[in-house]
Amino acid sequence: MGSERFPMTPKPHKKSLRLKPAIRSLYRLRGLVRKELFQIIRDPSSILIAFVLPLMLIFLFGYALNLDANNLRVGLVVEQSSPTANQLSYSFINSQNFNVTYGRSLAEVKDQVRSSELRGVILIPENFDRDFKAQGSFARLQVIADGSEPNTASLLQNYARATYQGWFLQHTLQEGVTLKPPIRLEPRVWYNPAGISRFFLLPGSIAVIMTIIGTLLTALVIAREWERGTMEAMLVTPLRVSEILLGKLVPYFILGIGSLLVCLLLSIFIFSVPFRGSLWLLLLVSSLFLISALGLGLLISTLAKNQFIASQAALYSAFLPAFLLSGFIFEIESMPDALQKVTFILPARYFVQSLKTLFLAGDVYTLIALNASGIILMGALFLFIAKTKIRKRLD
């Protein structure tokens, strides 16, 4: 009878007990993400960092950063006029690689090279016609390059050699002479046959842009919250540290992906960079890298708590290493051994290699997986340190 008056209530299922904290966590996380999205809408600085800054940088890198030297200003000196020397000089004058200033002696153009008006001199010596008829391809042609810009000097020498070889082949065909050199080189260039520097610079520039964008988005915004005191108010709520980190990452991750798509579309459709890989693989690797960059920004903001210090820290710890040590412009193998070891802790190193591979070579899964592992390792390290530095205390 007592059992009828006071029926036993069923015990809650253990699984439902385990789900309740998870559900509460999801509700808190959803609220925090909504709060961050509203904050982004009210504060235009995040939009400027995510979309305006990438536009400026991608156009700057696409147009200003160029390792191809066309229309080089050179002096052309023909010490003695002859049919053979004149034909060769016309090849240099008509070449699209050179902007020729004609001279009769080296003294006429020497001062122009010294003042950087000319990048070098191509000298056809006085005895060129005689030596060419006597020795064929062993006639001497002197190329003087301005070594103050080594890359331009190297290009000048290569262009001059290619122009001479093209003229020599045409001349021998016209004369009906067939010369068989002991070794015949047949060079082949894979992945970038035209040798256009923009094709490998722009994918690398996307990595640099995503580095600075991802780091600034979280570093400056959260540092601003520390300055305004809103971060302290958030720490006294029931939010866990992991929920705070995730709530900060999700909105700015969405902005970062939008920034990536803008850079990708501009590179392919405006600058005509070929893309031979899979879009899903690019988005996967980019997402991993963006989380790593955002994690670095979170780490900077937890340590700095000041916008000026956070911006300087983002510049020195993210942008400059990504620009100089990631292989974006300078080959890592040509760096000193100590710097080569430092590059292994830079996520941008792995992202630059992945982007160049996806754009120019295609889906090389083993290489992409290796680079993705490096990105995941460094991103997990940044987030772990950031989590340990954020305390649910205000002392």
Q: What is the pLDDT of residues 306-323, one digit of tens each?
A: 888 888 888 888 989 999
Of the candidates 299, 174, 231, the one whose C-alpha atom is nearest the C-alpha of residue 39 is 231
First-to-last CA distance in the chain?
A: 59
**Is 221 part of a structural domain of the chain?**
yes
Per the structure, the complete domain to which residue 140 belongs is given by: 72-175
Amino acid code (one letter) for 17 = L
Domain annotation covers residue 19: no
Per-residue model confidence (pLDDT) at position 203: 92
Give the whole-angstrom CA distance, residue 366 versus residue 348.
18
State how far the Cα of 290 lies from the Cα of 277, in Å rounded to an integer: 19
Q: Which of 46-55, 235-244, 287-296 has the highest mean pLDDT?
A: 287-296
Higher pLDDT, 372 or 150: 372
Q: What is the total count of domains within the chain?
A: 2
Q: Are residues 214 and 340 in the same domain?
A: yes
**44 and 168 share one domain:** no
The C-alpha atoms of residue 230 and residue 17 are separated, in whole angstroms, by 33
Shared-domain flag, residues 55 and 81: no
Q: Do residues 211 and 258 share a domain?
A: yes
My answer on whether 265 and 378 are in the same domain is yes
Among 43-47, 98-102, 351-355, 364-368, the range scoring the smallest mean pLDDT is 43-47
Residue 209 shares a structural domain with residue 287: yes
The CATH number of residue 121's host domain is 3.40.1710.10
* pTM for the predicted model, two decimal places: 0.78
Domain match, 246 and 384 both: yes
- Mean pLDDT confidence for 356-376: 93
20 belongs to a structural domain: no
Give the pLDDT band (50/70/90) at residue 194: confident
More confident residue, 278 or 35: 278
Same domain (yes/no): 49, 131: no
Q: pLDDT grade, residue 9 (50/70/90)? A: very low
pLDDT band at 2 (very low <50, low <70, confident <90, very high): very low
Whether residues 37 and 115 fall in one domain = no
Q: Are residues 303 and 250 in the same domain?
A: yes
Residue 177 has pLDDT above 60, yes or no: no
Pairing of strands 72-78, 120-124: parallel
Average pLDDT for 286-293: 94
181-185, 208-212, 216-220 — which is least confidently predicted? 181-185
> 381 and 232 share a domain?
yes
